[in-house]
Chains A and B, each alone.
Chain A
Amino acid sequence: MTTVINFLCAAVLAGTPFLFGTVGEIITERSGNLNLGVEGMMFMGGVAGIAGAYFYEQSAANPIGWVAAIIAVVCSFVCAALGALVYSFLTVTLRANQNVTGLSLTIFGTGFGNFFGEVLGNKAGGYVVVTGQTKEAFSVGIPGLSNIPVVGKLLFSYNFLVYLGILIAVLAAIYFSRTRSGLNLRAVGESPATADAAGINVTKMKYLATCIGGGICGIGGMYIVMVTCSGVWVHNCVNGYGWIAVALVIFATWSPRRALLGSFVFGGLSVLRYYLHLGLNMAQSQMYDVLPYIVTVIVLIVTGIRQSREHAQPASCGINYFREER
């Protein structure tokens, strides 16, 4: 019983960076931009987050953990959004190829993150690490409620970023299904020419969605640094999480609600080896790493068979819009 609860908690904790990446990329792709730079934006967000918190701690006389945490969130969002802004400028304004631009952003962001991570480390004398108070802010659950047996552990013991991620996913779901602006954004992603003719500012929508989506991905990167790596910059820390998020978008069939499920399932699969001992040797235990991908393949097959139009990729995703091209 305890093992199961521990496993579920670990799954949620491990799945949260996926959640940020997936929801961010869903918002981006809904605008018709296939941004493959999620990995890069996570690196950018990660390094900006820890840098923001670190510099605040260095400059303040009495650093407060919560302030550092909020600064980390803002910095990671802004830095990753800037990466997405470059991507938007290249693809929306200059109409560069989306795949190439996205891949470049991944390569750029990875280098950017590792470079500044090392620079910070050298400056701090070895490696960069935030104070205990900041770490505390990134690990405490909801005070009081988290002490309730079982339920408290299952529902209220997580750090604030987990709740932020869930909140963003729920808001995104409401945005797409209920609001006027969400309807307009879907139209932009499905058929920009239609949206344009209906008087929707396609360029503005694409820029906004891509930058906000990118910023959300960046928070996911910061989560990896601050929570998964406990506030220490580890070289190459994002390590493919961004790519899994891109795959999870397909798993979630572009729905923020299913992104919640997908992220936590993938989180669970990635920590399964610590909770389910099958007595495998080293080579066989690699099977644990393969599991998420097998699940993705199965989901792709199932959604492929269903062939529902609503669950398909937005029709104009990956294609740049140029009004005068008829």
Chain B
Amino acid sequence: MEHEIAISLEGICKSFGSVKANHDVSLEIRRGEVLALLGENGSGKTTLMNMLSGIYYPDEGTIKVNGEEVNIRSPKEAFELGIGMIHQHYKLVEVLTAAENITLGLKGGLTVKRRELVSDIRALTEKYGFELDPTKKIYDMSVSEKQTVEIIKVLYRGADILILDEPTAVLTPQETEKLFAILHNMRDDGKAIVIITHKLNEVMSVSDRVAILRKGEAVATVRTSETDAQTLTDLMVGRKVSLEIERPDVDFEQKDFLKVVDLTCIGAEGHKALDSVSFTLRSGEIMGVAGIAGSGQRELCEAIAGLYPVKGGAILCRSDTSSGEVRENIVGMSPTEIIKKGVAMAFVPEDRLGMGLVASMDMVDNMMLKSYKRGKGPFVDRKAPRAMAERIKDELEVVTPRVTMPVRRLSGGNVQKVLVGREIASSPKVLVVAYPVRGLDINSSYTIYDLLNQQKKKGVAVMFIGEDLDVLMALCDRIMVLCGGRVAGIVDPREVTKDEIGLMMAGERREEEVG
């Protein structure tokens, strides 16, 4: 059965300078249907939807809402047409309550009638099956609750066309399922829903139709029930792609490179950010670290790198000397000493630049950050880092006109390649990578996975802190699950299901441990 068309886009073009973000895109969004907008990074998904939500204005083409041609010039005009977009970065005021955030900017009486507002919101949450306390402050909320506030915010404003930009990026598998159930409730209520994503499994489970964008052009629209993940990937990338992530076996003797014993750290708010964390990291393995955002991943990385004060426990790093192997406790050492012991860390924070690279410096200077102290005399040596920058650019296919371009001007994926490449170039014994594929598309992600596998084969002990459970389960030899700063368990990804890991992330402890 064909549903009523809510929005139709015809021949939409949008350029930023010389870059064509969208070219001649035509698309239909129907009521009572979940449409997935699938595409790699930079394929123009978000740009296209931003034209519906009034953030951008198309250069060419027409937008019709309910059959009538419209001009959407601001988010406000989009709201008036019933279009609501939930952005990837939530736009909420932290110190206000959920209810206050929801009513923000709305017309109404002089005063805010909080009681009526709260009961209105409760009615809305019950209708679609949300769980939310409208009087809770945003800063007390988990990521998934914040997302709920965002969704209710657009519903409260009477939106019947909802656009969600990468809504599952920060959710646990269970939360994702709950969200999908709610999306289906809203769909059955006759709302039109668009979900922007590059995760195939989600497309398959939530959508009714899929529209695929590639390099700014709409390449196909298919019914989800009539397609499969492989076909979609090929359409998205434009050529055959293997979806398999390799997990090579190593044939040398694996040694314990890093032994963490009862590591405890106190967080900024006085709680235990890490609570008696113990594990062993071996050469020639990739150990994955899973957990919902803020479970202690960042503190663990920083504690190993010597950047975070350690309250208790030890981090023992193995080094081979002439008199045999010794274990040294690196707790209390300065970051420079720890780097000299062969521990390298590449942390990609939410804003992708905040830690590790200096945005306004070029690739050469960023390479030098780690090497300038080695030079003799007052002048720095630029030749070696320059050669290294060139090498990384060639080997990792970093797209930049020249290595002297400030890294801020590089796209996200390329910045991450520079960061990971530099850490690998120092030939470490222990490599800690956190979110290296954050926000990257399939192609760039696979380059990074290959890099990590190469390191593993070289005998490096790799710790991989990731968000995507499917990737962790395919790539890693072992997975440590963190929950609220504690180790919920260390499991063999070949022996557990995604749901089991999801439950552990959410706080259910698993007693038996492997490895």
Contact = CB atoms under 8 A, between A and B. Distances in A.
Given A184-B105, A198-B75, A310-B95, 14 more contacts: A180-B103, A180-B108, A183-B103, A184-B104, A191-B91, A191-B93, A194-B92, A197-B87, A198-B104, A198-B106, A199-B74, A199-B75, A312-B95, A315-B94
B92 A191 contact: yes
A227 interface: no
A206 interface: no
Contacts of B91: 191, 193-194, 197-198
22 contacts: A178-B111, A179-B112, A180-B106, A180-B109, A180-B112, A183-B96, A183-B104, A183-B112, A184-B104, A187-B93, A187-B105, A190-B96, A191-B91, A194-B91, A194-B92, A194-B104, A198-B91, A198-B106, A199-B105, A310-B95, A312-B95, A315-B95
B110 A180 contact: yes
Contacts of B109: 180
Interface in A53-108: none
A190 B110 contact: no
B64 interface: no
B159 to A, nearest CB: 13
Interface string B338-366: 00000000000000000000000000000
Nearest to A177: B112
A193 B92 CA distance: 9
Interface string B102-144: 0111101111100000000000000000000000010100000
B25 to A, nearest CB: 22
Contact of B112 (A178, A196, A315): A178
Given A178-B111, A309-B139, A191 B103 contact: no
B110 A179 contact: yes
A186 interface: yes
Nearest to A189: B93
B100 A183 contact: yes
A170 interface: no
A223 to B, nearest CB: 30
Contacts of A181: 110
B79 interface: yes
Contacts of B93: 186-187, 190-191, 194-195
Contacts of B106: 180, 198
* Central interface residue in B87, B108, B111, by most chain A CB within 10 Å: B111
A155 interface: no
Given A193-B91, A195-B104, A198-B105, A187 B111 contact: no
Nearest to B107: A180
A168 interface: no
* Central interface residue in B74, B95, B110, by most chain A CB within 10 Å: B95
Contacts of B108: 180
B76 interface: yes
Given A186-B93, A193-B91, A179 B105 contact: no
A233 to B, nearest CB: 41
Interface string A185-224: 0110011011111111000000000000000000000000
A187 B106 CA distance: 12
Contacts of A196: 75
Interface in A277-313: 307, 309-310, 312
Interface string B415-451: 0000000000000000000000000000000000000
* Central interface residue in A196, A199, A310, by most chain B CB within 10 Å: A199
Contact of A187 (B75, B76, B96, B110): B96
A187 B104 CA distance: 8
Interface in B9-61: none
A309 B104 contact: no
A166 B148 CA distance: 41
Contacts of A179: 110-112
Contacts of A194: 91-93, 101, 104
A195 B105 contact: yes
Interface in A143-197: 178-181, 183-184, 186-187, 190-191, 193-197
A196 B106 CA distance: 12
- 7 closest residue pairs by CB, A with B: A198-B105, A194-B91, A199-B76, A199-B105, A200-B105, A198-B104, A190-B93
Contacts of B111: 178-180
A315 B95 CA distance: 9
A61 to B, nearest CB: 44
A309 B95 contact: yes
Nearest to B137: A309
A190 to B, nearest CB: 5
A195 B105 CA distance: 7
Nearest to B104: A198
A228 B362 CA distance: 59
B118 to A, nearest CB: 14
Contacts of B105: 184, 187, 195, 198-200
Contacts of A191: 91-94
* Central interface residue in B87, B104, B106, B139, by most chain A CB within 10 Å: B104
Nearest to A180: B112
Contacts of A307: 269
Contacts of B100: 183
Contacts of B110: 179-181
Contacts of A315: 94-95
Nearest to A182: B112
A309 to B, nearest CB: 5
Contacts of B101: 194
Contact of A186 (B79, B87, B96, B137): B96
